Structure 1
Amino acid sequence: MSKRLRNTELCADCSVPEPRWASVNRGVLICDECCSVHRSLGRHSSQVRHLTHTPWPPTQLQMVQTLYSNGANSIWEHSLLDPASVMSGKRKANPQDKLHPNKSEFIRAKYQMLAFVHRMPCREDDSSTAKDLSKQLHSSVRTGNLETCLRLLSLGAQANFFHPEKGNTPLHVAAKAGQVSQAELLTVYGADPGAPDSNGKTPIDYAREAGHHELADRLVEVQYELTDRLAFYLCGRKPDHKSGQHFIVPQMADSSLDLSELAKAAKKKLQSLSNHLFEELAMDVYDEVDRRETDAVWLATQNHSTLVTETTVVPFLPVNPEYSSTRNQGRQKLARFNAHEFATLVIDILSDAKRRQQGNLISSPKDNVEFILKSVAVRHCSDSQDNDQPDYDSVASDEDTDQELPSSKGDRTKSLDSDLSDSPITMQEYLEVKNALSASEAKIQHLMKANNNLSDELRLMQKKASKLEKQSSMPESDYDNTFNDSEMDESGLCRRARLRSSGWMAEGSSIPELADAEIEADPTLPSTEDVIRKTEQITKNIQELLRAAQENKHDSFIPCSERIHVAVTEMAALFPKKPRSETVRGSLRLLTSSAFRLQSECRKALPSEGCPGPDMQLVTQQVIQCAYDIAKAAKQLVTITTKENTN
């Protein structure tokens, strides 16, 4: 995108100049603030990419630029263009509006509820309307009128519509006509490049026969987009599809044959899932990869000196109302996996995708995907994690299902949680049992939270009574170096860490979190300027580390991690030794423990005598994850101190 062109661009939602993000499926460009809201909507509403920091397929970027320049935004703001809407008080957000509630409410109405899209006249037969729209789409994709096709898709036309008379889909037509941007738009909306027409030919076949070889190659890439994205996330490489290589399956650095029985059982259950359930799990993991990668780009592109304290944090996958509550909870739990655990799951999915494509299927008993997620999470952990409790019941509870459309309820039989036992039961019986179990889980979670609150109060009283005695047993370290000690709650800030039995705490020392309760007054927090200055120092060192990773200079990992550790220590020293605020303590724990883990991961880059060389791709991935956690914690501390100092 040229500099000259970008200077004339405005955010589609609030008209801020020079937007740096794009919503791929909406065909619009958006600013940083509005992008934070788009991300919280979920990929099913808006698929966001950074214009320069995210790798783009060139033809997909061209498709978005064409839509934006041809007024695609008017599709999503159709009724706002009517003078009557101005008279009624309806208007779009402007640059001076606050992000919350003004901009965020407008964006949700615009893209989630499609409140301003042109509505077709009501007809008794909705399926007939959708069929008519799909036929119009089928005939329109042979032309270059891209915004017309986006408008039809916004009204309900189906990208995979099979024309009964023509015997093919819109993508067959676009591929044969060499309409590259139309093909990109259709695939963004779910068109299948491998779907056969009535003659058994795919869109890829038609593109090759018509001499559109670059389009055919791109459609092959789209066909393997899911597994390509997972492989690229782990090792930074994609298969060479032109040479017939369609899968890359990275190996773990510490892969061994002595897997636990739980791990073996999880692997077997993953392999025995039906293709449908396996595809759903793989798509959920794809969405989590997208969330993590976009999160990293988001953090790297934010100006720490220009504070936007209201931007929406996306700590786990947003709820998709088309999915069951159990699947939504499973999707959200993916955010709890650390880099090693998540890499394990991704590798298992890549391995099984390759096996399934080669036709080596295992008989499929009825299994619960949740067991697989839990098992993978503990495969490489010495400490047990409390994975049995639903983390985000308030976000994705079964009560949400009452608000779903009837059409989505009918699809429940195909959801991730559709099969729980081998005994035959009716779907009605299953749903009754599932709803009862979920209600019980919610009650248990509520009681546990209440119990935790009482326990905290009791502990506070006990600690105050023995304050002097406990002070004599305080550990030397201000902040614990707990592994995986932070989890994200709905507000995006760190939740109280669980006590571990993994040996991080020196024998005979008191528990830092218990001692925190002794503090009677919260000393003054550091100035925002000091925190920003230290954050920028940390960021500079992280950028140096990332450059070393990009250039495969692995011998630079340790000195870079040492400099980051020093910068983190200096930043932590700015804060009171025992801050009263739970959010400050949580962010400091994440900051210091991530720096400790980073040093540990960087040491793995050195070959050990008598041991096989480390898998540098996996080591690099984990180093990047630790660096990201440090930057995230620093950003949280900037935001917290800004709020405190301005109150």
Structure 2
Amino acid sequence: MSKRLRSSEVCADCSGPDPSWASVNRGTFLCDECCSVHRSLGRHISQVRHLKHTPWPPTLLQMVETLYNNGANSIWEHSLLDPASIMSGRRKANPQDKVHPNKAEFIRAKYQMLAFVHRLPCRDDDSVTAKDLSKQLHSSVRTGNLETCLRLLSLGAQANFFHPEKGNTPLHVASKAGQILQAELLAVYGADPGTQDSSGKTPVDYARQGGHHELAERLVEIQYELTDRLAFYLCGRKPDHKNGQHFIIPQMADSLDLSELAKAAKKKLQSLSNHLFEELAMDVYDEVDRRETDAVWLATQNHSALVTETTVVPFLPVNPEYSSTRNQGRQKLARFNAHEFATLVIDILSDAKRRQQGSSLSGSKDNVELILKTINNQHSVESQDNDQPDYDSVASDEDTDLETTASKTNRQKSLDSDLSDGPVTVQEFMEVKNALVASEAKIQQLMKVNNNLSDELRIMQKKASRLEKQNSTPESDYDNTPNDMEPDGMGSSRKGRQRSMVWPGDGLVPDTAEPHVAPSPTLPSTEDVIRKTEQITKNIQELLRAAQENKHDSYIPCSERIHVAVTEMAALFPKKPKSDMVRTSLRLLTSSAYRLQSECKKTLPGDPGSPTDVQLVTQQVIQCAYDIAKAAKQLVTITTKENNN
């Protein structure tokens, strides 16, 4: 931060002390609990950044601080300031309220429903009202009054509005006047620094002509914000725009996927229209933001406290302005491991550079803004349906066992499509049908894997019984050799900067298991672990049968039984296992059980967080079940090996 937060600053939503997060597009500071709700709303509602542990462009932070200090929160709570609101029982949340439902319901009403924002008198023609607001914004940005401009934007003024009489946009006006904080605010709401006015000049040109060099440099950074963020995510560096370097393509040979499938995907990526390429790049940007925010979130939370599903953001929240197909594809990005995601990011960076420098883009001499628009806020983006690219059906960082011909075919299919909001075509119908077939195939494969796991458990149980007869002395302390014992390539699949697994802290695992050799914590007996794993496997089979038979009302009771079995199994292990592998497997086991419960709850009628596509929920449920079975198998394998040493 440019300065330390003053002790008088409080959370905008509950008035809790010492807020550590900010909502950039709302101009407010947030406490951890309220921020957890903001994160679940999605970036189209609230763009959150940590005030101390996230890098900030200095003028962007100054813009948020200025809005906060000038009472921007009163914009979102306008009607609550009326004494009549207190009489009617309406009030804002307070620090003592529970996150769910109290704080969550208030925050959704405040920012998602805009329930407390001052409403203008209704007019017959809404477009005229929006045009009038945009003209007011066009005039206001030449001053330093940020709160007025934020209020206009909250009421529907368009940051990219092209004034028909003036022949320019609000960003041109702010740049000419040297109003760098206004430029930051407009950019957050989607203003494009590359837009030309009626004379062919951009906001960057006006800033340079006026001698506002800091503003000009910042506008260039904003123009390349998308590709800069992707490059920084992979290699921790940004291009030197001052010296004409606008792209960094990281050289990460070890991370690139050179398979035929990856080559085919890259070829289709290059054939995308500019519109579809821009949408894909924006979706990947949002996923990078989610992963990086997740990492900061986990690093700044107290892991001795219980982290429940209410604070987990396992994939990009649904944006109702997007089609169900695009939302489904955006959520699948979370299932890419570091290797796969790095490949996708590098492909996008490479193709963005090619499109700028090559002849594939038509129009002006510098059209990079067409594909590198500022995407800090997507309110101004007019979304069209598009099918998800080949990358969409990569399952998870540990899903190598379940790759089938059907799923690979499904992964190959969709960069060619540019769906519209019109009637359903035969092609669209067949794509949906193929997706259902692929999902059914994955259920069958998971059932097969689960049955194989049961067979392996029975074999291990017999071996354990024989070994227990042979060994009459207690097990000795084991060596911690995770690299040699890492099952199924776990060690290599988790390298690189990827989203950290959200998991309940060590405090979730009760210290009920008595160690064999005091005082060093040791593993439970193989027989106990196998018995608990069999119970988990049995419950997973019930869940998968419900998924096969489309009995969605059975998801919740099945997930609760799985959660109980997982908790009992986790209780067998010491509170702080010596082995990194045991800790990793326990985290995957418990976090997957919480994710499973969260996904299954989305099948409840009227759940506000439910996606419209039940098939998407089923796919997530299957993935969680697979992760639980995978973790249980790893724990059985580790326990058997360690107890036999």
**TM-score of Structure 1 vs Structure 2, range by shorter chain:** 0.5 to 0.7
> Does structure 1 retain, via aligned residues, the 8 Å contact 2:532–2:568?
no
SS at match of 1:254: helix
Structure 1 match to 2:428: 434
Correspondence list, 1:238-317, <5 A: 238-254=238-254, 259-307=258-306, 309=308, 311-317=310-316
> Does structure 1 retain, via aligned residues, the 8 Å contact 2:298–2:502?
no
SS at match of 2:29: strand
**Aligned counterparts of 1:324 and 1:420: Cα–Cα separation in 2:** 13
Once the two structures are superposed, residues 114-154 of structure 1 have per-residue CA deviations (whole angstroms, 9 ceiling, x without a partner) of: 11111111111010000000000000000111000000000
SS at match of 2:252: coil
**Aligned counterparts of 1:274 and 1:444: Cα–Cα separation in 2:** 27
Shift of the 156–417 alpha-carbon distance from structure 1 to 2, 3 Å rule, reads farther
Q: Give the drift of 1:84.
A: 1.8
Shift of the 46–137 alpha-carbon distance from structure 1 to 2, 3 Å rule, reads same
> Does structure 1 retain, via aligned residues, the 8 Å contact 2:233–2:288?
yes
Structure 2 match to 1:153: 153
TM-score after normalising by structure 1: 0.67
Structure 2 match to 1:320: 319
Correspondence list, 1:403-482, <5 A: 420=417, 428-431=422-425, 434=428, 437-438=431-432, 441=435, 445=439, 469=462, 471-472=464-465, 481-482=487-488
Q: Quick check: 1:517 aligned with 2:514?
A: no
Structure 2 match to 1:162: 162
Structure 2 match to 1:583: 590
> Does structure 2 retain, via aligned residues, the 8 Å contact 1:326–1:417?
no
Q: Quick check: 1:373 aligned with 2:418?
A: no
Kindly provide the amino acid, as one letter, of the partner of residue 420 in structure 1.
S
Shift of the 218–287 alpha-carbon distance from structure 1 to 2, 3 Å rule, reads same
Structure 1 match to 2:187: 187
> Does structure 2 retain, via aligned residues, the 8 Å contact 1:60–1:181?
yes
**Aligned counterparts of 1:153 and 1:427: Cα–Cα separation in 2:** 27
Q: Identify the match of residue 580 of structure 2 among 547, 568, 583.
A: 568
**Aligned counterparts of 2:458 and 2:398: Cα–Cα separation in 1:** 41
> Does structure 1 retain, via aligned residues, the 8 Å contact 2:28–2:67?
yes
**Aligned counterparts of 2:38 and 2:104: Cα–Cα separation in 1:** 9
> Does structure 2 retain, via aligned residues, the 8 Å contact 1:67–1:147?
yes
Shift of the 207–278 alpha-carbon distance from structure 1 to 2, 3 Å rule, reads same
Structure 2 match to 1:594: none
SS at match of 2:49: strand
Structure 1 match to 2:624: none
Structure 2 match to 1:115: 115
**Aligned counterparts of 1:336 and 1:229: Cα–Cα separation in 2:** 20
> Does structure 2 retain, via aligned residues, the 8 Å contact 1:313–1:492?
yes
**Aligned counterparts of 1:196 and 1:83: Cα–Cα separation in 2:** 47
Q: Give the drift of 1:263.
A: 2.4
CA RMSD of aligned residues (A): 4.6
> Does structure 2 retain, via aligned residues, the 8 Å contact 1:12–1:29?
yes
Shift of the 274–448 alpha-carbon distance from structure 1 to 2, 3 Å rule, reads closer
Q: Give the drift of 1:584.
A: 7.1
Point out where structure 2 has 5 or more consecutive residues left out of the alignment. Answer: 363-384, 469-477, 505-525, 539-564, 595-626, 632-645
Shift of the 89–450 alpha-carbon distance from structure 1 to 2, 3 Å rule, reads farther
Shift of the 469–585 alpha-carbon distance from structure 1 to 2, 3 Å rule, reads farther
**Aligned counterparts of 2:89 and 2:41: Cα–Cα separation in 1:** 25
SS at match of 1:322: coil
Correspondence list, 1:615-626, <5 A: none
> Does structure 2 retain, via aligned residues, the 8 Å contact 1:28–1:73?
yes
Structure 2 match to 1:357: 356
Kindly provide the amino acid, as one letter, of the partner of residue 483 in structure 1.
G
Q: Give the drift of 1:373.
A: 1.1
Shift of the 234–428 alpha-carbon distance from structure 1 to 2, 3 Å rule, reads same
Once the two structures are superposed, residues 409-437 of structure 1 have per-residue CA deviations (whole angstroms, 9 ceiling, x without a partner) of: xxxxxxx979539xxx9974545753675
**Aligned counterparts of 2:21 and 2:332: Cα–Cα separation in 1:** 27
Structure 2 match to 1:637: none
> Does structure 2 retain, via aligned residues, the 8 Å contact 1:281–1:369?
no
SS at match of 1:29: strand
Structure 2 match to 1:625: none
**Aligned counterparts of 1:369 and 1:45: Cα–Cα separation in 2:** 23
Once the two structures are superposed, residues 163-195 of structure 1 have per-residue CA deviations (whole angstroms, 9 ceiling, x without a partner) of: 000000000000000111100000000001110
Structure 2 match to 1:590: none
Q: Quick check: 1:336 aligned with 2:335?
A: yes
Q: Give the drift of 1:48.
A: 0.5
Q: Give the drift of 1:389.
A: 6.4
Shift of the 4–379 alpha-carbon distance from structure 1 to 2, 3 Å rule, reads closer
> Does structure 1 retain, via aligned residues, the 8 Å contact 2:27–2:64?
yes
Of residues 263-272 and 139-148 in structure 1, the stretch that sits farther from structure 2 once superposed is: 263-272
Structure 2 match to 1:348: 347
Shift of the 10–221 alpha-carbon distance from structure 1 to 2, 3 Å rule, reads same
> Does structure 1 retain, via aligned residues, the 8 Å contact 2:272–2:415?
no
Kindly provide the amino acid, as one letter, of the partner of residue 517 in structure 1.
E
SS at match of 2:488: coil
Q: Give the drift of 1:80.
A: 1.1
> Does structure 2 retain, via aligned residues, the 8 Å contact 1:21–1:31?
yes
Point out where structure 1 has 5 or more consecutive residues left out of the alignment. Answer: 391-415, 495-508, 536-565, 588-628, 634-647
Count of residues in Structure 1 that have an aligned counterpart in Structure 2? 503
Q: Quick check: 1:483 aligned with 2:485?
A: no
Shift of the 449–110 alpha-carbon distance from structure 1 to 2, 3 Å rule, reads farther
**Aligned counterparts of 1:240 and 1:196: Cα–Cα separation in 2:** 24
Shift of the 308–585 alpha-carbon distance from structure 1 to 2, 3 Å rule, reads closer
Structure 2 match to 1:141: 141
Structure 1 match to 2:227: 227
Correspondence list, 1:193-204, <5 A: 193-204=193-204
Structure 1 match to 2:640: none
Once the two structures are superposed, residues 48-68 of structure 1 have per-residue CA deviations (whole angstroms, 9 ceiling, x without a partner) of: 000010000000000000000
> Does structure 2 retain, via aligned residues, the 8 Å contact 1:270–1:369?
no
Q: Give the drift of 1:461.
A: 9.2
Shift of the 255–16 alpha-carbon distance from structure 1 to 2, 3 Å rule, reads closer
